[in-house]
């Protein structure tokens, strides 16, 4: 398994190679200057690249277990149907056979698919348990779905608690994306195991960030756990993917991952600002905290969204 995994890192998935051939991939996933920008792309035919251990494993499962099995089954069924059309049409086979049962064949076509399913279930369940929780979280984030916005709480960071709403299409600034950018992104540190607890204040939502391999229902009255460890700085977009009412499409998720010192500085500043005047500064407010940067910090502590990374060059 480990060897196969190593090989997989060097060999592209067969359809990713196909995408390269049709010249989609080379520019499709270009990163921004200051970090990755993970979001859906025009003409995307593959999963988004993974930036967490969970998503990398999901991609591996998709590329090396699920897709090859699907390809073999589709090819086999296509060949069998083609052969049946050719061999048993009325002209070639005027008197059809009246056999209705063939026990060995029936046992085979029951047992073989069952074995395939068991073979797929083993790595799938391992991944489900892996995704389920982390034993060693650095911090916890509480995510609450509302009609139609997300609420993020940082219980370990002075009970910082803010609302993250979509930026309307007519108010987008350069580097922001329609139906994806929000006024207050979820800011997280890079390289730390983060426990994410989801719930809802009204109906069922779903917290879904594809490039981080996070997807969990947000259900009223329940708390559902997952976790994430983000590999590198960047901006990671997602959406509520449980149809939750009229403005379901207007509750995107924007995660900004920054180095730990920057996260800690931002969390401290944000908790202070929120307690004092109810505002939450963007993470870029602490991007260049130096010995003389303190005075400048208070000036930018306004409710504005400034991306921590520049927009991708390939966009
Ligand atoms: Cu929703």
The string of pLDDT tens digits covering residues 125-162 is 999 999 998 888 999 999 999 999 999 999 998 889 99
Identify the pLDDT of residue 309.
35
pLDDT for residue 39: 93
The residue ranges of every structural domain in the chain are 1-98+133-315
Mean pLDDT of the chain: 84
Q: Percentage of the chain surpassing pLDDT 70? A: 80
- Measure 188 CA to ligand 1 centroid, in angstroms: 21
pTM attached to this predicted model: 0.77
Determine how many CB atoms are found less than 10 A away from the CB of residue 61. 16
At 310 the pLDDT is: 34
Structure tokens given for 62: 């998709």
Ligand 1 centre distance from Cα of residue 166 (Å): 12
Query: In the CATH hierarchy, which top-level class contains the domain 1-98+133-315?
Result: mainly beta
Among candidate residues 18, 6, 2, 20, the one with its CA nearest the CA of residue 71: 18
CA of 205 to the centre of ligand 1 (A): 4
Instruction: Indicate the SS3 state at residue 215.
Output: strand
Q: Could you tell me the distance, in angstroms and rounded to a whole number, from the CA of residue 2 to the centre of ligand 1? A: 38
Distance (angstroms) between ligand 1 centre and the Cα of 182 equals 15
**Tokens read off for 213:** 């391999």
Any residues with CB less than 8 A from the CB of 239 and at least 6 apart, and which?
179, 180, 208, 249, 251, 252, 253
CA of 147 to the centre of ligand 1 (A): 6
Average confidence (pLDDT) over 229-246: 95
Residues near ion ligand 1 (Cβ under 5 Å) = 205, 240, 244, 251
> What is the mean predicted confidence (pLDDT) over 23-46?
67
């Amino acid at each position: 398994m480990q060897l196969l995994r190593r090989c997989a890192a060097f060999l592209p998935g067969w359809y990713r190679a196909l995408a390269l051939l049709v010249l989609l991939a080379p520019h499709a996933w270009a990163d921004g200057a200051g970090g990755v920008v993970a979001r859906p792309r025009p003409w995307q035919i593959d999963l988004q690249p993974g930036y967490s251990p969970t998503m990398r494993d999901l991609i591996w499962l998709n590329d090396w277990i699920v897709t090859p099995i699907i390809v073999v089954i589709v090819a086999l069924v296509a060949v069998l149907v083609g052969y049946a059309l050719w061999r048993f049409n009325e002209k070639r086979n005027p008197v059809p056979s009246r056999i209705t049962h063939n026990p060995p064949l029936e046992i085979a076509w029951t047992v073989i698919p069952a074995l395939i399913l068991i073979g797929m279930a083993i790595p799938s369940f391992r991944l489900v348990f892996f995704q389920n929780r982390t034993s060693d979280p650095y911090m916890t984030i509480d995510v609450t779905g509302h009609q139609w916005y997300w609420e993020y709480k940082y219980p370990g960071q002075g009970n910082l608690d803010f609302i993250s709403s979509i930026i309307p299409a007519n108010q987008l600034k350069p580097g922001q994306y329609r139906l994806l950018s929000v006024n207050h992104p979820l800011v997280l540190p890079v390289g730390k195991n983060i426990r994410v607890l989801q719930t809802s204040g009204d109906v069922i939502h779903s917290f879904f960030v594809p490039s981080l391999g996070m997807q969990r229902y947000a259900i009223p009255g329940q708390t559902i756990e997952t976790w994430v460890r983000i590999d590198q700085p960047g901006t990671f977009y997602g959406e509520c993917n449980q149809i939750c009412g009229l403005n379901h499409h207007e509750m995107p998720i924007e995660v900004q991952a920054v180095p730990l010192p920057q996260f800690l500085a931002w969390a401290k500043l944000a908790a202070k600002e929120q307690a004092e005047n109810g505002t939450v500064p963007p993470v870029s407010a602490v991007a260049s905290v130096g010995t003389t940067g303190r005075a400048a910090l208070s000036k930018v502590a306004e409710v504005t969204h400034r991306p921590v990374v520049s927009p991708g060059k390939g966009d």
